[in-house]
Amino acid sequence: MPSAELDLTALYHTLAEWLGPSGWWPADSKIEIAVGAILVQNTAWQNVDRSLTNLRQVTAFDPHRLHALPQATLIELIRPSGFYQNKSRALMGLWDWLAQWDFDLTQPAAMPPAELRQTLLSLRGIGAETADAMRLYVFDQPTFVGDQYARRLFGWLGQPFASYAKLFAATHSVAAWPLQDAQELHGLIDNLGKQIKTAPDLVTTPLAHKRLILR
């Protein structure tokens, strides 16, 4: 059976119609999202959720209370997420950076996208995927987040990428999307990835026999 082509916009609408609203990112505040974006590195979300519960009970995600936590206390609170030494340092570095604006997130959000991305990448423990997730959900800058679910799906749809940088360049058009649509695309791809584990399973979805075209 020949493959039908679809671009990113068609992929978005296909997933939205099939899956419904994604409800992603699961958090009550942008500060909580920023913390979760760091904690989720190299671990499952259920581990992150335990750490977030610990932090919520102690700080209510008040940024000033988070910033005041001693590293030893922070480590114990985020221990369920693993890699707690490195992640505690990354969180402390992020809070030090945000403190210069007294945690007014609209200030760094006003940076040009490329400048904000490069600044986030310069912070300890923040890689490209984490930086883009923060730009999308914390600082309200539309972008594509090429996480594991996205890379796997794109490979199934005939668009494998050898590196995050190449995928980021190929999906640059999302930067011009409305913010809500860019956020929802990421959420939908992640929700799909949690349901569809293998390429053969894709034939049970509306993406069966589809090929993604990136322009």
Using an 8 Å Cβ cutoff, are 175 and 150 in contact?
no
Quick one: pLDDT at residue 83? 97
Burial 142-153 (b: 16+ CB within 10 A, else e): bbbbbbebbbbb
Segment 80-130, tens digit of pLDDT: 999 999 999 999 999 999 999 999 999 999 999 999 999 999 999 999 999
Residues 45 and 132 in one domain: yes
Distance in angstroms (rounded) separating the CA atoms of residues 96 and 157: 41
Burial 187-203 (b: 16+ CB within 10 A, else e): bbbbbbbeebeeeeebe
Residue 112 belongs to what domain range?
30-137
Boundary-marking domain end, from 83, 116, 137: 137
pLDDT above 70: residue 2: no
As for how many domains the chain has, the answer is: 2
Residues 40 and 99 in one domain: yes
Quick one: pLDDT at residue 189? 97
**For the chain, what is the mean pLDDT?**
96
pLDDT above 60: residue 203: yes
Residues 56 and 133 in one domain: yes
Quick one: pLDDT at residue 24? 87
Question: Residues 116, 119, 125, 131: what is their CA dihedral angle, to the nearest 10 degrees?
Answer: 20
Chain centre distance of CA 160:
19
Residues 160 and 129 in one domain: no
The mean pLDDT of 201-207, rounded to a whole number, is: 94
Quick one: pLDDT at residue 26? 82
Residues 97 and 157 in one domain: no
Segment 66-81, tens digit of pLDDT: 999 999 999 999 999 9
Q: What is the CATH number of the domain that holds 92?
A: 1.10.340.30
Quick one: pLDDT at residue 195? 94
Residues 51 and 104 in one domain: yes
Band of pLDDT at residue 13, cut at 50, 70 and 90: very high
